[in-house]
């Protein structure tokens, strides 16, 4: 992920070259017309928006990867290439039962 400094640089460049007019007007209004405060508020707002976009992108990517892995595991189980979680749990319970029986009988 980009550092804060890079996000601030991107926001300042955006403000200088092609600011979002609605956001700029909103920031100027909130800063009571003080141009420097309005610009600073614009940059802060954009940095926060970019951070949120990055977080959402990461979450979306993680969800996609999780879904791909889930589908791959389901396909592998269906093909008999790996055991399902339930099968593994069943063998664990049976194995523990056998161990208990052996332990109790000796």
Domain ranges of the chain: 4-105
Residue 84, SS3 per DSSP: coil
Q: What is the pLDDT of residue 26?
A: 96
Cβ burial of 75 (10 Å; 0-12, 13-18, 19+) is exposed
State the residue for tokens 């403000």. 15
Report pLDDT digits (tens) over 1-55: 457 999 999 999 999 999 999 999 999 999 998 999 999 999 999 999 999 999 9
Task: Dihedral sign for Cα 39, 45, 50, 53, please.
Answer: negative
Q: Over range 47-66, report the average pLDDT.
A: 91
């Amino acid at each position: 992920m980009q550092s804060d400094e890079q996000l601030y640089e991107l926001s300042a460049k955006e403000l200088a070259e092609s600011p979002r007019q609605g956001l700029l007007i909103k920031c100027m209004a909130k800063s009571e017309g003080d141009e420097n405060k309005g610009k600073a508020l614009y940059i802060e707002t954009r940095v926060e928006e970019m951070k949120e976009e990055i977080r959402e992108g990461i979450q979306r990517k993680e969800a996609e990867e999780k879904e791909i892995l889930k589908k791959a595991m389901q396909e592998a189980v269906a093909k008999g290439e790996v055991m399902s979680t339930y099968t593994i749990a069943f063998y664990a319970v049976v194995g523990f039962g056998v161990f208990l029986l052996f332990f109790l009988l000796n």
